[in-house]
């Protein structure tokens, strides 16, 4: 009897254990299994880059799960990066009655794990700053701000101005515009700001400062009063690789470092090639090389002629203005007395000038470190300047004068027999036989370009004239002028001689038009 009871108890315990196990199976394991009808492929195995991700009962949701996984990985990259991946998704379907399926959370997690290992490239959200033809790439809005701030920092030592970046609502793509405003008024939307991307004319950046003549000198601010970018600037959002990004230091160095750029220089009265070369710090050889119209340093130039020169200028230039109060010497304007009996080349100084002294309040405009304008707001004269008074003629003089008095015409213009070995058989001027030491005068007023030894000419003088012509005087014994000197018509410039390739004492005289020699006798009165 005891034995039977013992077996009964054991049976009851086994029954209870089996029931509990069944309940556990139904509660925890059975939900992941699903019964299917025989309707074709109804069970799908997902494989990503050769790794089995899990199983699902619907192929329609796989793309949605992939998108969620990709978003999850992207958010892990601080949300500002664009990840490029190599992904190979395979889905294998089969027909089953009962099958285990994975939850969406599990599938997404498994997909994300594979994606993290499959990132090929990371494109960082960044900003491309375009300045005319130059572009730099920066990683953040803050770095762009730092670049633009440093561009104006040299001209704003008190740090009174700030740069703001705002979205340009008129553009279809995300383009930011930079505005410069005072820190004091940065929050005031009515504050006048200067927008990068629009080159400001000088008069536009000076409109905000009006002369107030009744102010005392101590009331003027003395310091920076306006600042703006002189170049077109665009800040465009972009996605770039790590090695395409510049540091702020690299960007600042690139856009603020002075580069040589070519600009047009217009010749003014009194200019010579040597003076243009000196004033603009450009070697004569370079000046000739970049201008096709220039053959050598003796090439004639004329007023208003345009020459290409190189000047140093950064990619990002800054227009700025400062108010200043100072004391200076000043010159009075020259006063002229007309004389109708004199030629326009004749003038006499009747009164020598003397400088005056004055106190001045002014606004000075600069482009980078070069002054481009000055507006006097107030002045107080301490000592009046005495003007220079000049009496000058009003009559138009003869076009070209004979450069010597007397003399015998010993050789005309054009074809001839060579007078000496090596001499040309085409005479580019005319010769007058005169004694050594005869006075030579300028045939017309102009600027001396050559005054010294000139190979076959011997000692010579070349003069460029305002009408685009050039005169040459050769075989001189003594030169009385210097290069760059301005001479009037009839002014003494040299003494005749017998230097260079010469067969006897004489003066050789040429007139050249656009570099071509013409018969001087047809152009003289």
Region of residue 153 (left: phi > 0; alpha: psi -120 to 50; beta: else):
alpha
Q: Span 332-354, mean pLDDT?
A: 89
Is 22 among the domain residues? no
The one-character DSSP state at 329 is E
SS3 per residue for 374-420? EEEEEEEEEECCECCEEEEEEECCCCCCCCCCCCEEEECCEECCCCC
The answer to the question of residue 165 being in a domain is: yes
Q: Which of 193-202, 300-309, 320-329 has the weakest average pLDDT?
A: 193-202
Domain of 334, CATH number, reads: 2.20.230.10
pLDDT digits (tens, 9 = 90+) for 397-449: 668 889 998 889 988 898 876 666 556 678 889 999 999 999 999 999 999 99
Nearest to 388 by CA among 445, 343, 360, 347: 347
- Whether residues 149 and 178 fall in one domain: yes
Q: Residue 361: which residues within 8 A CB-CB, separation 6 or more?
A: 215, 217, 220, 323, 324, 325, 376, 377, 378, 379
**Opening angle at CA 258, ends 164 and 150, nearest 5:** 25
**What is the average pLDDT score of the chain?**
81
Q: Please indicate, yes or no, whether the overall pTM of this predicted structure exceeds 0.85.
A: no
Q: Does residue 215 fall inside a structural domain?
A: no
396's tokens: 């138009």
Do residues 427 and 515 share a domain?
yes
Instruction: Determine the pLDDT at residue 297.
Output: 83
Q: What is the pLDDT of residues 308-333, one digit of tens each?
A: 988 777 888 889 999 999 999 999 99
Positive or negative CA dihedral for 376, 380, 385, 389? Answer: positive
Q: What is the CATH number of the domain that holds 480?
A: 2.70.70.10
Using CA of residue 512, residue 516, residue 520, residue 521, what is the dihedral sign?
negative
Going from the C-alpha of 227 to that of each of 155, 193, 368, 496, the distances in angstroms are: 8, 9, 10, 60
Q: Quick one: pLDDT at residue 171?
A: 61
pLDDT tens digits, 482-501: 999 999 988 999 999 999 88
Whether 436 and 451 share a structural domain: yes
Picking from 65, 83, 117, the residue at the C-terminal end of a domain is: 117
- Residue 151 in domain: yes
Report if residue 14 sits inside a domain.
Answer: no
In 3D, which of 451, 497, 455, 453 has the Cα closest to residue 471? 451
pLDDT at position 220 over 60: yes
Answer yes or no: are the C-beta atoms of 178 and 164 closer than 8 Å.
Answer: yes
Residues 93 and 134 in one domain: no
Q: Are residues 459 and 492 in the same domain?
A: yes
Would you say 503 and 422 are in contact if contact means Cβ atoms under 8 Å apart?
A: no
Q: What residues make up the domain containing 445? A: 408-522
pLDDT value at residue 458: 92
| Average pLDDT over every residue of 241-259 | 83
Q: DSSP E strands: which ranges in 208-346?
A: 223-229, 233-240, 258-266, 306-314, 318-330, 335-343
Residues 310 and 324 in one domain: no
Q: What is the pLDDT of residues 17-58, one digit of tens each?
A: 655 555 544 444 444 554 445 456 788 899 988 889 899 888
Whether residues 279 and 337 fall in one domain: no
pLDDT for residue 419: 66
- Tell me: do 92 and 155 sit in the same domain: no
Residue 174: pLDDT above 70? no
DSSP states along 219-254: GS--EEEEEEE-S-EEEEEEEE-GGGPPPHHHHHHH
Instruction: Examine the pLDDT at 358 and tell me if it is beyond 90.
Output: yes
Q: Do 424 and 507 belong together in one domain?
A: yes
243 & 154 share domain: yes
Is pLDDT larger for residue 515 or for residue 259? 515
State how far the Cα of 403 lies from the Cα of 508, in Å rounded to an integer: 10
Q: Is residue 372 part of a domain?
A: yes
Number of residues written out for the chain: 525
**Total domains present in the chain:** 5
Identify the pLDDT of residue 421: 59
Residues 131 and 242 in one domain: yes
Q: Which residues contact 177 (CB under 8 A, 6 or more apart)?
A: 165, 166, 167, 168, 195, 196, 197, 233, 234, 235
- CA–CA gap between residue 126 and residue 264 (Å, rounded): 37
Is 211 among the domain residues? no
In this prediction, residues 236-252 reach a mean pLDDT of: 84
- Cα–Cα–Cα angle for 127, 133, 134, rounded to 5 degrees: 50
Domain boundary among 331, 366, 395: 395
What is the torsion angle, in degrees rounded to the nearest 10, for the CA atoms of residue 299, residue 305, residue 308 and residue 310? 90
352 and 286 housed in the same domain: no
Q: 76 lies in a domain?
A: yes
pLDDT at 5 over 60: no
For position 275, what pLDDT does the model report? 86
Digit-coded pLDDT (tens) for 458-478: 999 999 998 889 999 999 999
At 96-133, the pLDDT tens digits run 877 788 888 999 888 888 887 877 666 777 888 888 87
User: How many C-alpha atoms does 102 have within 13 Å on its Cβ side?
Assistant: 20
Among candidate residues 314, 329, 344, the one where a domain is terminated: 314
Cα separation, 152 vs 162, in Å, equals 9
């Amino acid at each position: 009897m005891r034995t039977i009871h013992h077996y009964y108890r054991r049976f009851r315990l086994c029954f209870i254990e089996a029931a509990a196990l069944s309940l556990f199976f139904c509660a925890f394991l059975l939900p992941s299994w699903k019964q299917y009808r025989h309707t074709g492929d109804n069970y799908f195995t997902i494989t990503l880059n050769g790794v089995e991700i899990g199983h699902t009962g619907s192929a329609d949701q796989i793309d949605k799960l992939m998108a969620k996984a990709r978003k999850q990985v992207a958010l892990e990259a601080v949300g500002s990066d664009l990840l490029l991946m190599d992904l190979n998704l395979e889905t294998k379907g089969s027909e089953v009655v009962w099958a285990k399926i994975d939850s969406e959370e599990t599938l997404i997690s498994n997909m994300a794990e594979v994606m993290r290992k499959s990132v090929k490239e990371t494109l960082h959200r960044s900003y491309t700053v375009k300045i005319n033809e130059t572009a730099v790439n920066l990683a953040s809005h803050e770095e762009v701000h730092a670049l633009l701030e440093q561009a104006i920092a040299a001209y704003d030592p008190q740090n009174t101005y700030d740069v703001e970046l705002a979205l340009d609502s008129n553009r279809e793509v995300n383009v930011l515009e930079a505005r410069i405003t005072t820190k004091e008024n940065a929050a005031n939307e009515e504050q006048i700001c200067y927008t990068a991307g629009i080159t400001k004319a000088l008069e536009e950046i000076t409109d905000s400062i009006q002369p107030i003549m009744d102010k005392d000198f101590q009331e003027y601010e003395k310091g920076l009063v306006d600042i703006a970018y002189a170049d077109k600037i665009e800040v465009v959002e972009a996605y770039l690789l790590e090695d395409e990004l510049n540091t702020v230091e690299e960007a600042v160095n690139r856009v603020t470092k002075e580069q040589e750029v070519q600009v047009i220089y217009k010749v003014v009265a009194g200019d010579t090639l040597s003076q243009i070369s000196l004033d603009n710090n450009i070697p004569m050889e370079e000046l000739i090389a970049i201008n096709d119209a220039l053959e050598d340093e003796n090439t004639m130039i004329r007023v208003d002629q345009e020459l290409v020169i190189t000047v140093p200028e950064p990619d990002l230039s800054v227009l700025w203005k400062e108010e200043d109060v100072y004391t200076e010497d000043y010159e009075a304007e020259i006063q002229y007395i007309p004389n109708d009996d004199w030629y326009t080349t004749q003038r006499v100084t009747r009164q020598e000038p003397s400088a005056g002294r004055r106190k001045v309040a002014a606004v000075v405009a600069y482009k980078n470190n070069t002054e481009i304008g000055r507006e006097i707001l107030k002045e107080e004269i301490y000592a009046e300047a005495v003007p220079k008074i000049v009496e000058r003629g009003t009559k138009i003089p003869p076009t070209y004068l004979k450069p010597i008095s007397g003399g015998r015409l010993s050789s005309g213009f054009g074809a001839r027999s060579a007078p000496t070995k090596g001499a040309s058989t085409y005479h580019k001027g005319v010769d007058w036989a005169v004694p050594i030491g005869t006075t030579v005068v300028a045939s017309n007023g102009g600027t001396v370009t050559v005054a010294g030894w000139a190979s076959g000419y011997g000692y010579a003088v070349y003069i460029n004239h305002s009408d685009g012509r050039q005169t040459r005087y050769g075989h001189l014994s003594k030169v009385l002028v210097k290069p760059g000197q301005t001479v009037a018509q009839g002014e003494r410039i040299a003494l005749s001689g017998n230097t260079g390739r010469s067969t006897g004492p004489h003066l050789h005289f040429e007139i050249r038009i656009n570099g071509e020699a013409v018969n001087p006798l047809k152009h003289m009165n």
